[in-house]
Structure 1
């Protein structure tokens, strides 16, 4: 985008902060224009529209004047034939189209007719002497020779260029063409179609419609006003510039499928009508029509002819009417306000921001040198119908030239006058040069600032790329950390399960369980503490067993070295043979040998062959002999150096 064009947009649409966005949202929601979540997006801090994919740029004042998506095919055709974009139409121009479509469908009983439109309207640039606007740069005007409704548009639509937003694009019947993408830098060349007139055939076809319009205007007691047409489409809650499923002449009231919302209150309706018209609080607001519009309750007359004629759409091919006639810089500037005294087609043109003192190539100043009125207060006027664009301007009469045949006094007066004019022109030239130098310096400063802004933007984009990379890396790190944490949690849970299993096995084997009196309220630590208690118990028991095995070892393994490792010591006591049996047998052998030695020492004659033959021994006799010898066994054991322990039957408890 060129610098001057960007500055024009920035000044015209964002020279002030956006006002009351919450009130705008509330108004659009009440009017039913917020169809679903995300259908309308209000801009943030951006200074130039940058709509998301699937969205188009529009304005609050366009929406409340009948615009909605998907747009009406007649509006699509107008934009194509005239070679303009939606944002290049002023709010009052949008309202002109809404009133025309409502007039055709509700009061003429026909579709909007392209030939009838050309008989009534034409286009012109919306520009002042020094500024050619882009946003709102085209105005729809009523032809001077046509008798049309007194619409009574407001003198000014203040600050409408700053109230832009994004509307979600919708399609109807799979149509290929809809609202053209926003191009804030696009020029608006004047085209032949802007002033195209109806052909002879179109005039013949629409003569009956023009006659009916005149009847609606001039029937005594039943006159139809432009503000009444506006009030009607606002009251029935139907957007004229939206593609409808059913035509207006079969409007079904509250059950109509194309209604956007419920009926507005009388107070809200009157407030909205005053906003869109020049009616003040002193005037009564005509919320009803004197002529009953066509609807399901007021059907079209029998044999009524419904006409249909749309502007050529893109799918119909290129049309000659769109040929460029002149460029913005070639078209002579025309004041926007037009003739102030006309009462027809009120607001058929938008009031110019005529206070700009800079050229088109430089940013317009905020305050005109000739007037202290703020630009926003005169952005959009529409008080009258413009004068005939074909009329030639009468050049101003030249002042009297110098006549050498005049008398001396006349010559002197002329010389003085010429000298005075020369001095004035010279001073004015110097002032103009100084102003031009200041303007050039200001433009250079703005260009430098813009260049710095571009560099800052590029740097920000690069940093944004770096930031995005860091964000991705951070996201990957967060995912990795999350996975690591999940693995750690799973590992801790597995460890806890193993510890709990060990504790349960220990309790089953040892038969002793523990309860923590001061638990940590941590499953892992508490389980580990219980396992430590079990370990302490196991170590104590192992120490006691070791001591017992150490004392038993010499009896089971005489004349053998005792192992130092506990496991080896235990394995010595776990052979395949029965150590207790072997121990008893060994003791019996010692006893027998000791008895034989005692008998031999007694010098008694013993027949040892018979003694060694137990087969002939009588068991009962043997038991009697053992019983008789038992009182003397203590002496024998004492001799052998062994002190027998008291048996269970002879042991006596100790008395403390």
Structure 2
């Protein structure tokens, strides 16, 4: 295992990191991100590349932007070679170009501002994050205020799905943890005089954005802008950011972040400390509400992408001190001997070196051919799998058609049944209408609601209904007043129907009341006799069967003159109306 491999260890992604990725909308697609399981060294599945949580929250998302693809090819590096701050440098540059300069990310402008260097100490050369993007010392660029260090970012690695670009050779090369970082001439590539002249207006605009009093733009404000609009700058997008149309823009990956999440994330990406979050830029970025001016120059300049997947090995510089950019060609062959035989020997050695180089190139081409054959086999397997899936989908479509036909049949039956119910309802309405005409002798037509006699008939019914309700209320009031006399020991029912049922039993309520009154009269008479202290043979008095009816009537007649006295003695006020009831035994 190479020395660089020792930097890898088991991925440690916390629930807090996972929740942040979800809130940022980076896990909407099921296959966009895969988390490692127990492996301590990356082993990405087919079409996946190794990246980091700290790369994703700084604007990286698949499919990768063509500008980033070009940078990786030109510099001969992989995603895991770049530090999080380097990723943020690229995101800020693309946002600056599209939102504040109104041009696509420009390779010539990039070369005027940036170069790359090795990342490491005197004794250690990093593989993970072994390359950093730097602002050239002679360029006045935005103060980005990166954090001094990003703690533990190397441990939070994961796999992102590399979606195919326009052609297979433009995709990011597969992950190779054993590939050494080789310094290339392109690391110090400078813009040509022609490129400087073409980009001078852009550099002038950058200086204006930095130094216009009251409208100064900072790197932190550019970062805050792409976080707010929820667009990943390093993602291949349908439209450039100068056409951004707000919350419904097709390039947005999630809804707006909460204020708490936004401030927390911005402090994580920049060296703000306890300083307040900077206010929004006073420079309005280009968008659908602030379109580009008419005749605005369009500049297209992307890093050169590989042709046929080949890497120009001659562009590799010598491996020397940290950050050195001395080309290999300036070292080899710098000392010459004066003797002619030494020149001949040098010529032979040079031919041998060239032969070795050609052999190496052929070996590399053979290796690429093997990889291409292997990839073709894998593509064939995937094609067969997709064909099987297509067959399964076709079967599913046929099943869906059957279900749709069944549903349509059921719907037709339901509509027919509903129509039948509606027709039956209309028939009942017409029948009720005829019955109403027979009872009320009023004609009406449903087709003319304005002059419909049916409405008048309803009003007529409502009037009689009101009278019926009044009669029921009066009946309830009368029955409520009579209830205590007929049912002295019962509680009055709450509803009129139950109250009316009480007065409609099988027995004669009047007879029962008279029996009760007779019972009370007898009890009072007994009490009266007892109070007079007279000796009475109650057995004879109670034996009414021995008394003839004529005898009973005569006794009643004899007692009648004393009735008022007896009642007065018992404290009962006699009624003024003579009773018409017959005596009962």
TM-score (norm 2): 0.54
State the partner residue of 1:644. none
Query: Tell me, what secondary structure is at the counterpart of 1:254?
Result: coil
Structure 2 counterpart SS, 1:96: helix
In 1, are the aligned partners of 2:76 and 2:184 still within 8 Å (CA)? yes
Residue 43 (str. 1) matches residue 36 (str. 2): yes
**What CA distance in whole angstroms lies between the structure 1 residues aligned with 2:311 and 2:22?**
39
User: In the aligned structure 1, how far is the partner of 2:280 from the partner of 2:179?
Assistant: 42
Which one of the candidate residues 93, 102, 106 is aligned to 1:109? 102
Deviations 1:606-627 (A, max 9, x none): xxxxxxxxxxxxxxxxxxxxxx
Structure 1 residues 332 and 174, CA gap change in structure 2 (3 angstroms): closer
Q: How far has the Cα of 1:180 moved from its partner?
A: 1.6
| Contact 1:193–1:321 (Cα < 8 Å) also in 2 | no
Partner of 1:194: 187
1:586-640 per-residue CA deviation (whole Å, 9 max, x = no partner) reads xxxxxxxxxxxxxxxxxxxxxxxxxxxxxxxxxxxxxxxxxxxxxxxxxxxxxxx
Partner SS, residue 134 of structure 2 = strand
Aligned match for 1:307, one of 292, 299, 310 = 299
Structure 2: how far apart are the matches of 1:236 and 1:265? 12
Q: Distance in 1 between matches of 2:199 and 2:118?
A: 27
Q: Structure 2: which 5+ residue stretches go unaligned?
A: 327-585
The Cα offsets for residues 376-430 of structure 1, whole Å up to 9 and x where unpaired, read as xxxxxxxxxxxx989xxxxxxxxxxxxxxxxxxxxxxxxxxxxxxxxxxxxxxxx
Q: Residue 76 of structure 1 is aligned with which of 69, 73, 82?
A: 69
Change (3 A) 1:322 1:66: farther
Report the counterpart of residue 294 of structure 1 in structure 2. 286
Aligned mates of 1:300, 1:321 — CA distance in 2: 42
Structure 2: distance between partners of 1:51 and 1:317: 21
Q: Are 1:99 and 2:98 matched, yes or no?
A: no
Query: Which runs of 5 or more residues in structure 1 are unaligned?
Result: 335-387, 391-656
Deviations 1:543-567 (A, max 9, x none): xxxxxxxxxxxxxxxxxxxxxxxxx
Task: Select 2:14's aligned residue among 21, 31, 43.
Answer: 21
* Aligned Cα root-mean-square deviation (Å): 2.0
**Structure 1 runs of 4+ with >2 Å offset:** 4-7, 17-21, 171-177, 315-322
Distance 2:189 2:132 in 1: 15
Given that residues 86 and 180 in structure 1 are in contact (C-alpha distance below 8 angstroms), is that contact kept between their aligned partners in structure 2? no
CA contact (8 A) 1:70 1:178 kept: no
Partner in structure 2 of residue 130 of structure 1: 123
Q: Which residue of 1 aligns with 2:268?
A: 275
1:286 Cα shift?
2.0
Q: 1:221 to 1:175 in 2, by over 3 A?
A: farther
**Contact map agreement 2:245 2:287 (CA 8 A) in 1:** yes
- Give 1:179 deviation, angstroms: 2.0
The CA deviation string for residues 425-450 of structure 1, in whole angstroms up to 9 with x for no partner, is: xxxxxxxxxxxxxxxxxxxxxxxxxx
Q: 1:6 to 1:195 in 2, by over 3 A?
A: same
Conserved? CA contact 2:11–2:158, under 8 Å: no
Counterpart CA distance in 2 for 1:215 and 1:51 is: 45
Deviations 1:575-595 (A, max 9, x none): xxxxxxxxxxxxxxxxxxxxx
Task: Say if 1:217 and 1:225, in contact at 8 Å, map to a contact too.
Answer: yes
Residues 5, 317 of structure 1: CA spacing in aligned structure 2 closer, same or farther, 3 A cutoff? closer
Is 2:237 the counterpart of 1:244? Answer: yes
Alpha-carbon distance, 1:290 to partner:
1.7
Report the Cα distance in structure 1 between the residues aligned to 2:209 and 2:311, rounded to whole angstroms.
34
Q: Is the 8 A contact 2:13 2:156 kept in 1?
A: no
1:167 aligns with 2:167: no
Report if aligned partners of 1:191, 1:321 keep a CA contact under 8 Å in 2.
no
Contact 2:11 2:156 in 1 (8 A): yes
Which one has the bigger helix percentage?
2
> 2:322 — aligned with what?
333
Residues 83 and 172 of structure 1, relative CA distance in 2, 3 Å threshold? closer
- How many Å separate the matches in 2 of 1:320 and 1:170? 25
Task: Rate the CA distance shift 1:308–1:317 in 2: closer, same or farther, 3 A.
Answer: farther
Counterpart position of 1:55 = 48
Residues 59 and 164, structure 1, Cα contact 8 Å, conserved in 2: yes
> C-alpha displacement at 1:129, in angstroms?
1.0
Separation (CA, whole Å) in 1 of partners of 2:124 and 2:265: 31
Distance 1:246 1:41, change over 3 A: same
Is the 2:64–2:162 contact (alpha carbons within 8 Å) kept by the matching residues of 1? Answer: no
The separation in 2 between residues aligned to 1:156 and 1:72, in whole angstroms, is 26
